[in-house]
Amino acid sequence: MERLDKVLAATGRWSRREVKELVRRGRVTVDGRLAAAPEDKVDPAASRICVDGEPVSWEAFVYIMMHKPAGLLSATEDARQKTVLDLLPAELRRRGLAPVGRLDKDTEGLLLLTDDGMLTHRLLSPKYHVDKVYFAQVKGELTASDVEAFADGITLGDGLVCRPAKLEILTGDTCLVTLQEGKFHQVKRMLASRGKPVVYLKRLSMGSLRLDERLEKGQYRRLTEDELRVLRDETA
Ligand code: URA
């Protein structure tokens, strides 16, 4: 059971204060009865909650796939700079969605945003072995010895040891990098440690979830039920 004001505010349509006002004005009913107080306990999955007679649909969690453009921070807020949350409408921003792992400001590609903390944890924890695949363009010529070094596990300049990773050379200066962890600037630092600084980076996938190429940079959509089911299965 959850508090009525929490459930209504979680729809993103009203703030907690607005919800209190709705209840006070007698505009909210639960299973046909006038709600007495914002603190009333309701079962969000089973109770029929209406505002002004209109049923309110309730989702436990929201899952958004975004094609992150360069130039935005993967953060929920920042005093000075725009974040990926600025691309979402107010009702989604109010849900308290957070990016699943950070992409650098200049990195593009697949970014999942959700308020499902458990799934977020599982997608990011190396324990669940979820592959993250990046397309990178570097300065310089990639070689078979770079591929080997990635497979052996690269040690970065500050002594940080990376788990074995996959490097697939596409052309001389472009490649796919597959990691199961996400340390700060990891792809850039791994390639820089081989003398091949990254000039462009894009995340293509997380586990089975591939960036929908129909999404233009800056566009987003909800995950389909199939995409979500497979992601959950992969991290079970
Ligand atoms: N690795 C990086 O270096 N940058 C990113 O944005 C993601 C992975």
DSSP string, the chain: -EEHHHHHHHTTSS-HHHHHHHHHTT-EEETTEE---TT-EE-TTTS-EEETTEEPP--S--EEEEEEPTTSBSSS--SSS-BGGGGS-HHHHTTT-EESS---TT-EEEEEEES-HHHHHHHH-GGG---EEEEEEESS---HHHHHHHHH-PBPTTSPBPPP-EEEEEETTEEEEEES---TTHHHHHHHHTT--EEEEEEEEETTEE--TTSPTT-EEEPPHHHHHHHHHHT-
pLDDT band, very low/low/confident/very high, at 29 (cuts 50, 70, 90): very high
- Rounded to the nearest angstrom, the distance between the alpha carbon of 104 and the centre of ligand 1 is 6
Six-digit token string for 72: 């935005």
Calculate helix-pair angle for 117-124, 225-234, nearest 10 degrees: 60
Q: How far is the CA of 36 from the centre of ligand 1 (A)?
A: 50
Examine the pLDDT at 58 and tell me if it is beyond 90: no
CB of 85 within 6 A of ligand 1: the answer is: no
Q: What is the mean pLDDT of the chain?
A: 94
103 in contact with ligand 1, CB cutoff 6 A: yes
How many Å apart are CA 188 and CA 206, to the nearest integer?
18
Say yes or no: CB of residue 107 within 6 Å of ligand 1.
yes
**Is residue 104 flagged as an active site residue?**
yes
Q: What is the pLDDT of residue 217?
A: 98
pLDDT for the residue 157: 86
Question: Residue 148 Cα, ligand 1 centroid: separation in angstroms?
Answer: 20
pLDDT in the model for residue 171: 95
Residue from 104, 106, 184, 189 to probe ligand 1 pocket by mutation (most atoms less than 8 Å from CB): 104
Residue 16 pLDDT exceeds 90 = no
> How remote is the CA of residue 189 from the centroid of ligand 1, in Å?
9
Testing ligand 1's pocket by substitution, the residue of 179, 186, 206 carrying the most ligand atoms inside 8 A of its CB is 186
Q: Give distance in angstroms: CA of 211 to centre of ligand 1.
A: 16
pLDDT of residue 131: 96
**What is the predicted pLDDT for the residue at 20?**
94
- Torsion on CA atoms 50, 52, 57, 62, rounded to nearest 10: -120
d(CA 143, CA 68): 30
Q: In what order do the strands lie in the sheet with 54-55?
A: 33-34, 28-30, 49-51, 54-55
| 187 pocket-lining for ligand 1 (C-beta < 6 Å) | yes
pLDDT tens-digit map of 62-105:
999 999 999 999 998 888 999 999 999 988 888 889 999 999 99
Active-site hit among 104, 106, 173, 212: 104
Instruction: Check if 185 has its Cβ closer than 6 Å to any atom of ligand 1.
Output: yes
- For a pLDDT cut of 70, what percent of the chain falls above it? 100
- The band of 9, judged by pLDDT with boundaries at 50, 70 and 90, is confident
* Atom of ligand 1 at shortest range from CA of 185: 3
C-alpha distances in angstroms, 150 versus 24, 130, 153, 157? 61, 17, 5, 15
pLDDT band at 13 (very low <50, low <70, confident <90, very high): confident
Domains and CATH numbers, the chain: 2-55 (3.10.290.10), 60-129+212-236 (3.30.70.580), 131-206 (3.30.70.1560)
Residue 37 confidence class, pLDDT cut points 50, 70, 90: very high
Each residue's pLDDT tens digit, 95-148:
889 999 999 999 999 999 999 999 999 999 989 999 999 999 999 999 999 999
